[in-house]
Chains A and B, each alone.
Chain A
Amino acid sequence: MKIYRIHALICAGGQCITAGGDSFEEALKRAITEKGLEDEIQVVETGCMGACEKGPMMVAYPEGILYVHLKPEDANEIVEEHFLKGRPVQRLMWKEADGNFPTLDQVPFFAHQTKVVLRNCGLIDSENIEEFIAREGYSALAKALSSLKPEEIVDEIKKSGLRGRGGAGFPTGLKWEFAAKEVSDQKYVVTNADEGDPGAYMDRSIIEGDPHTIIEGMAIAGYAIGASKGYIYCRAEYPIAIKRLDLALKNARKFGLLGKNILGSDFNFDIEVRMGAGAFVCGEETALLRSIEGKRGEPTNKPPYPSQKGLFGHPTVINNVETFANIPFIIAEGYEKFRRIGTETNPGTKVFSLAGKVITTGLIEVPLGISLRKIIYDIGGGIPNGKKFKGALMGGPSGGVVPASKLDTPIDFESLQEIDSMMGSGGMIIMDEDSCMVDIAKYFLKFTVDESCGKCTPCREGTRQMLEILERISSGKGKETDLEDLLSLAKTIQQTSLCGLGQSAPNPVISTIRWFRDEYEAHIKDKTCTAGVCSMKKPTLEVKKNAKKIAH
């Protein structure tokens, strides 16, 4: 193997590329060639490093020097000064508020994280299967096939206490056990990569940064429940993720890690990618399965559960991307080690995408049970521009707002539910005093109204009624009875909707009324929006008409 003096790891996560990372990489490679340093410096494209707001970013090893906000014109200076003369370019380095230039392991944003799911993200070239294998990749699958019986795997996952990371937190081991017990000549393993919650991009980052870990997790699941076929259902809005998945599947087949007689055993398993076509409701498991079958993505009644009668009517295990990414760790390291992370009832970690009004936004992984305060202030660096924290939106359109008074609530499935919020899939949008809670609730209701599939009445009509009331309130025409009407509608929709989308749709309204009732009342009684967001009058003229005037 070739030895290099410097390894320059460039983040090729979706956001860094979009921010111009690809043109920087080109410029850097050109500069390295011009100086004749190709044999001394290796440039590696990795998956998401996490600090997306600082992108495009690069880490130069052995020191772990962090370069941020890179532009193509910076490439020459880095090669000339740092790579050639050994003088890191401070003006481009990550700088803390105290004026220091920390290396990767010293930056608080990274130092306070615990990486299980993201263990390879930002470290390896996700398009190179050998780098994954060098990081012990596929060793869990090898261990499973060579020394564990299927029921021992199910038992291990049950003991680990792993709970589904898609939002609901159902015990993964139980799900597998149900499917394993079914008798059928055909069973399926499905990955739900239809990540649609606004502000959530954990699954995309995991797939883009470490696609083989999903393949390995699915293959282990296939062996455990007796399935020979898997599908990854990925939304069409993620073209980079789909491309990397396709490549990873091809390489895994080439290496004999998918296909017939995997690793010399009698276990056969293969995976296909299915692309969505733009429908939020397909993130709901029964709707997703219908979509893989080529039908309209409408949810169906449960029971029967997918583990009994799932894809094409056969027993199916369907888990979220992040859930599968935990499997290789649990099998390779043992359930005890996994349980040492997190809390008794919520073991392990959770990946969040931290967005909104926080100094460093991006992808983070933390042990469950951590407080929101730690995430926002220790990892995210606090609220920018000296503003005050107002609320954190968790769980997207199914979740709720965590107010400042609840900043110390431990992040776990039950504690969040108690305060009318939700773990959700991992989107976390931080808001400061400039955000209006009525506006937020209205935004999410609008989202649900747009995305409701229309199959059941409470969701289709009920959310529309709620939205109308909210629109009235935010335009200064609220009535005294509006809040009670909202809560009563919310209760009906929660109790009578067919699927999770409808049942959870009222959550943002319920939680904002519970924690920010004064703000609603100010809108209704005083006709004022304290945050200054709602116009409190009818929307102004359509922009389109103005546009035509200008064009003439």
Chain B
Amino acid sequence: MQKKSLIEKLHDIQENQKNTNHLPKDMIIEAAKESNVSLSKAFGVATFYTMFSTQKRGKHIIRICQNQSCHMANSALVVDELKKTLCIDFGETSEDGLFTLEHSSCLGMCSIAPCMMIDDRPYGNLTPGKVVEIIHSIKVGA
């Protein structure tokens, strides 16, 4: 096996920050040293990819699919309901620190649009009522 690339290291770091889902500054610096790349390059990588965040985020990341099929299936209604329920906008984290709302590129689930992903789990055929239930069930489980 080859050595891990910087991106893989960053994936590992973020994976381990269970409650904040982000890349702490000191750990990026450490990964940069290990990979033998300059700090500017390492931060360049950490900020290039949308799935990495240098800012603290919520425990769960909600990624809303932005595709045309979802758009045509009224994903806007679902998004409005989520924003209302969590009292946040895109890029923000709910007050309890549980959820961060983000956009996602197409999740490839057009036949069951509108869809979203929370962490690694996809959800489809969404309605405003259904997302409230999903959020509630995650809160109860948390």
Contact = CB atoms under 8 A, between A and B. Distances in A.
A335 B119 CA distance: 44
Interface string B104-118: 111111111101010
Contact of B104 (A195, A237, A279): A237
Contact of B108 (A291, A353, A440, A542): A353
B108 A19 contact: no
B68 A429 contact: yes
B110 A199 contact: yes
A544 interface: yes
Nearest to A270: B1
A208 to B, nearest CB: 10
A462 to B, nearest CB: 21
Nearest to B67: A198
Interface in B7-54: 7-8, 10-11, 35, 37, 41, 44-45, 48-52
Contacts of B11: 236, 275, 277
A52 interface: yes
B71 interface: yes
Nearest to B92: A544
A277 B109 contact: no
Interface in A350-366: 353, 355-357, 361-362
Contacts of B5: 274, 292-294
A272 B7 CA distance: 14
A201 B49 contact: no
Interface in B48-67: 48-52, 63, 66-67
Contact of A15 (B6, B104, B105, B111): B111
Given A15-B111, A543-B83, A198 B106 contact: yes
Contacts of A435: 72
A443 interface: yes
A542 B44 CA distance: 32
A279 B48 contact: yes
A387 interface: no
Interface in A122-138: none
A393 B123 CA distance: 25
A447 interface: yes
Contact of B48 (A236, A297, A362, A440): A297
A356 B72 contact: yes
Interface string A224-262: 000000000000111100000000000000000000000
B2 interface: yes
Interface in B65-82: 66-69, 71-72, 80
B105 A277 contact: no
A200 B109 CA distance: 9
A204 B1 CA distance: 25
Contact of B41 (A55, A295, A357, A450): A295
Interface string A59-70: 000000000000
A284 interface: no
A400 interface: no
A294 B45 contact: yes
Nearest to B6: A294
A190 B88 CA distance: 41
Interface string A257-289: 000000000000000101111111000000000
A447 B67 CA distance: 9
B124 A15 contact: yes
A3 interface: no
A167 B71 CA distance: 24
A440 B111 contact: no
A451 B105 contact: yes
A289 B114 CA distance: 32
A277 B117 contact: no
Nearest to B48: A296
Contacts of A431: 72
A189 B88 CA distance: 44
A548 B35 contact: no
A519 interface: no
Contacts of B87: 544, 547-548, 551
18 contacts: A18-B112, A55-B111, A195-B108, A198-B69, A198-B106, A199-B110, A200-B108, A204-B108, A274-B5, A277-B10, A277-B51, A277-B52, A293-B5, A297-B48, A298-B48, A362-B111, A453-B48, A544-B88
Interface of B: 1-2, 5-8, 10-11, 35, 37, 41, 44-45, 48-52, 63, 66-69, 71-72, 80, 83-84, 87-89, 103-113, 115, 117, 120, 122-125
Interface of A: 14-15, 17-19, 52-53, 55, 195-201, 204, 236-239, 272, 274-280, 291-298, 353, 355-357, 361-362, 393, 429, 431, 435, 440, 443-444, 447, 450-451, 453, 542-544, 546-548, 550-551
Kindly list the 7 A-B residue pairs having the minimum CB-CB distance in the complex, ordered from nearest.
A201-B108, A294-B5, A52-B111, A355-B110, A277-B49, A278-B50, A278-B51
